[in-house]
Structure 1
Amino acid sequence: MKRREILRCLMVFLPLLIYLYFAVMLELISNVPEQGKGVTSQTDTIQKTFFEKTNISYLQQTKAPDADFYWKPSLSERKKYGKFMSVCKEYQSKCLYENIVFTCENIKSIKLQEKIGHGVTKQAFLGLFEGAEVVVKMVTRHQKEARECLDGLPNRDRSDNLKRSKCFVFPTMKLMKEILLLHQLNHEGFLRLHGYCVRSEESESTDLSEHGVVAVFERGTSLSIEKLKGLSKEDKIRQSMHLISFFQYLANSPLGSLRVRDFKMDHFLMVNSTIKMIDLDDIDNLEPSCDAYSIESNTKRRSCEYNLTCEMGLCNGHNAKRNMERANELFFRHLLTPEFFPRKCFKMLEDINQRLRELSVNYHGVLRSLKKLLDSLVYLH
């Protein structure tokens, strides 16, 4: 009898217990915030546009607040570059790395217009996306490195795709290096990378839907000595401050002290009134080696340029000095020429130019002097 009573009680109370269990679970579920809810609908309403207008140098993008990742510029950046625009609609990758919005999913949407530049290993093309101009870099068979390799193949190998593809490996590596460096370096002195696609080493075609490695950059205008000299006095000083900041960053980058080996005007552009470097494949962090000890004379000796001391077989500080030397020749002697400034500024200008001639790497000191010169110029006006 006792067992039957227990079973009867269970049959009575079991439905009640099941009801209470599901009631509690439903209450808990209803109180958990739905993290993804609303993101898709908000994302779907984003306009598929690239820039508010063409030639905006800094790609702006935002996502719904609840999205998995988003990038938000500082207040100064928002003021400088205007409202944010998103181009991530309909693509699963949705801006994986900050301002990287072109991937293999959508890079074919760029319409190539014409070739606008070339180097030893790469060609640059003007591209249009949603009415905005971008620059597309890729390796083609017309570039010197690839062309010489292809021309040097024996006739029997010229139709061999594997052997032909080897002619593109080194140039493609240079473009890949540029992409990877820009992922690790963060300064507005570098041309902004808007996206890239890496599929293979194949580079015969210029069709963006199948080309091996493609990189997309912001558009700029060519730079020349005449343009530097044509800037206003205030802009000459601002550009000088920007360049000092840039070379300070190179000297203290996350990758070590970087040297620009191929330092020439063609490797810089003007983007929204800012000088930017466009070619990074010849940048490295290798300080020159040196002999710290002379066996013949049994004495220590200096073998480094700029009177630097040889430390553990390296001329530490050489890269920073060489960058400043080349920057002075290429930029500062045109930007800070006394004849363009009021006579009352000559003393400050001479002090700054003296520091630059001495290849001073006291960047903060030079920046303070330039700021003081700019303040004086504004006061005189």
Structure 2
Amino acid sequence: LAPPRTSAEQPGPRGRAVAGPRAGASAELSLEPPLLGCRDIRNVSGVQYLGSGYTKAVYKAVLNRTLAVALKAVDFGGHDIAHCVRQFSALGDCYRLAAYKIVKEMILLQRLRHANVLQLYGYCYQDSNDIPDTLTTITELGSPLEMIQLLQTSWEDRFRICLSLVRLLHYLAHSPLGSVTLLDFRPRQFVIVDGELKVTDLDDASIEESSCTSNSDCFMEFPARNFTLPCSVEGRCQSMNEKRNLYNAYRFFFTYLLPHSAPTSLRPLLDKIVNATGELHWGIDETAAQLERVLNLYKSGEYLQNTTRMPKAEYRRVPEAFIPDENYRCWPSYHHKGCLLSVFDVNEAIEICDSYSQCKAFVLTNQTTWTGRSRMLWSRSSSWVTYSGCFRCFNTVWSESCSGLW
């Protein structure tokens, strides 16, 4: 990343503009004034390379020693620049061609305001590699989406990822720009911020609905399935952008994250969602409504109404007690050193403890999940020690809260 321009070339108010010798180029973007700009990059520290694709390189950095952000810029050593320079021997022109993707993404990040779209903090035009007005965007920082790690997390967290994605796709289908499709739809185009899925790469997004004269023109091809959509009377393939997004969500996310280790009573509905999206029987509106229904059943505890069994043993509440170092591991768990799960209430906790042969006790912690459910710690010991301010429960005991568990 090149240093920003001198103060003479910088705008007066902080972050109000990023003008330089080619102020018209940035003015054409019609963007709102950014919150952050070149002056903030001057105070950057802790720059760390995160990765790159064909066009862009992404860096993690800390601005003003307080705000961790992601910085995106054209990768001069990337495939697009290298291929163009080999062909045309014009670095400046090749840069401008590659930078178009960043400019496009920057505009879309600002126009598409949604909780599951990465937030654009600002941008900066500065000279780099003897090229004027190279562009760096400043965005919210997220964690890469690692599917293998996601498969090892709780069903509740995996459901949150799918719900985030469906809410995003519902917004894109009804966005102010029209129906937006993600042509390069892969897990690497997304990041996780505070447990929520957010789209970060929008340079390959499109709002163009395919034109057609017959249904045969509305052919969508995927590795495992092909679909033919109806051609509307207006000569457009009906809901093609929406359906392309939805099927990609099915094949990259739903099949892996939704059904596995879900609560038993929710599996028929989840299987219905997976099958309906895999066959494109539903659009995004129905899919979103059904996932919101799952959320409501899960948060309210209604999914437990027909599943509660008689406990195998009696449990009693032991206040101000704890179980020392008698944890065992289970999967999936919120903690890798113990069996930490979420429950709707104590009755569900008893049922879960009964289902584990090692479980002799469980502890209601003061932690809650994103749905408001309580986290319980399971133990293989029924021996307990009293401790002021700490409640414990086990197989003849149950308790309530312990602030110092993790």
SS at structure 2 position matched to 1:101: coil
Q: Partner residue of 2:79?
A: 144
Q: Aligned equivalents of 2:33 and 2:149: distance in 1?
A: 29
Provide closer, same or farther for how the CA distance between residues 93 and 231 of structure 1 changes in structure 2, counting only shifts above 3 A. Answer: same
Q: Partner residue of 2:13?
A: 92
Q: Aligned equivalents of 2:12 and 2:255: distance in 1?
A: 48
Write the deviation string for residues 278-330 of structure 1: whole angstroms up to 9, x where unpaired. Answer: 111000111222223xxxxxxxx553244432123220201111101011111
Q: What letter corresponds to residue 276 of structure 1 in structure 2?
A: K
Q: What letter corresponds to residue 246 of structure 2 in structure 1?
A: M
The answer as to 2:69 corresponding to 1:134 is yes
Alpha-carbon distance, 1:91 to partner:
6.8
Q: Partner residue of 1:183?
A: 110
Instruction: Compare the two structures and name the one with the higher helix fraction.
Output: 1
SS at structure 1 position matched to 2:39: coil
Write the deviation string for residues 224-251 of structure 1: whole angstroms up to 9, x where unpaired. Answer: 2222222322222222222111100111
Match of 1:350 among 268, 271, 276: 271
Percent sequence identity over aligned pairs:
28
Q: Partner residue of 1:104?
A: 38
The answer as to 2:129 corresponding to 1:204 is yes
Provide closer, same or farther for how the CA distance between residues 341 and 99 of structure 1 changes in structure 2, counting only shifts above 3 A. Answer: farther
Instruction: Compare the two structures and name the one with the higher strand fraction.
Output: 2
SS at structure 2 position matched to 1:127: strand
The answer as to 2:253 corresponding to 1:331 is yes
Q: Partner residue of 1:291?
A: 213
Match of 1:169 among 84, 96, 103: 96
Q: Partner residue of 2:295?
A: 371
Indicate the structure (1 or 2) with the bigger Cα radius of gyration: 1
Provide closer, same or farther for how the CA distance between residues 302 and 143 of structure 1 changes in structure 2, counting only shifts above 3 A. Answer: closer
Contact 2:277-2:287 at 8 Å conserved across structures: no
Q: What letter corresponds to residue 319 of structure 1 in structure 2?
A: N
What is the 5 A alignment of 1:12-27? none
Q: Aligned equivalents of 1:219 and 1:180: distance in 2?
A: 18
Q: What letter corresponds to residue 188 of structure 2 in structure 1?
A: D
Q: Aligned equivalents of 1:290 and 1:218: distance in 2?
A: 39
TM-score, normalization by structure 2: 0.60
Alpha-carbon distance, 1:101 to partner:
2.2
SS at structure 2 position matched to 1:102: coil
Write the deviation string for residues 45-69 of structure 1: whole angstroms up to 9, x where unpaired. Answer: xxxxxxxxxxxxxxxxxxxxxxxxx
Provide closer, same or farther for how the CA distance between residues 288 and 145 of structure 1 changes in structure 2, counting only shifts above 3 A. Answer: same
Write the deviation string for residues 236-276 of structure 1: whole angstroms up to 9, x where unpaired. Answer: 22222221111001111111111111111111111111111
SS at structure 2 position matched to 1:212: strand
Alpha-carbon distance, 1:99 to partner:
9.5
Contact 2:15-2:36 at 8 Å conserved across structures: no
SS at structure 1 position matched to 2:58: strand
Q: What letter corresponds to residue 278 of structure 2 in structure 1?
A: R
Alpha-carbon distance, 1:153 to partner:
4.3
Write the deviation string for residues 132-174 of structure 1: whole angstroms up to 9, x where unpaired. Answer: 32111111421211122223346xxxxxxxx431111111111
Higher relative contact order (CA 8 A, sep 6+): 1
Write the deviation string for residues 199-238 of structure 1: whole angstroms up to 9, x where unpaired. Answer: 5xx65279xxx76211011222121222222232222222
Q: Aligned equivalents of 1:217 and 1:344: distance in 2?
A: 40
Match of 2:170 among 248, 258, 274: 248
Q: Aligned equivalents of 2:202 and 2:164: distance in 1?
A: 18
Contact 2:85-2:91 at 8 Å conserved across structures: yes
Task: Answer with 314-323 or 123-132: which moved more.
Answer: 123-132
Q: Partner residue of 2:50?
A: 116
Contact 1:112-1:125 at 8 Å conserved across structures: no
Q: Aligned equivalents of 2:130 and 2:193: distance in 1?
A: 29
Can you give the 5+ residue segments of structure 1 that lack an aligned partner in the other structure?
Answer: 1-89, 155-162, 293-300
Q: Aligned equivalents of 1:195 and 1:352: distance in 2?
A: 38
Provide closer, same or farther for how the CA distance between residues 281 and 203 of structure 1 changes in structure 2, counting only shifts above 3 A. Answer: farther
Alpha-carbon distance, 1:185 to partner:
0.5
Alpha-carbon distance, 1:126 to partner:
1.9
Q: Aligned equivalents of 1:153 and 1:240: distance in 2?
A: 44
Write the deviation string for residues 76-121 of structure 1: whole angstroms up to 9, x where unpaired. Answer: xxxxxxxxxxxxxx97146788894211333322236232111111
Contact 1:247-1:324 at 8 Å conserved across structures: yes
Q: Aligned equivalents of 1:249 and 1:321: distance in 2?
A: 13
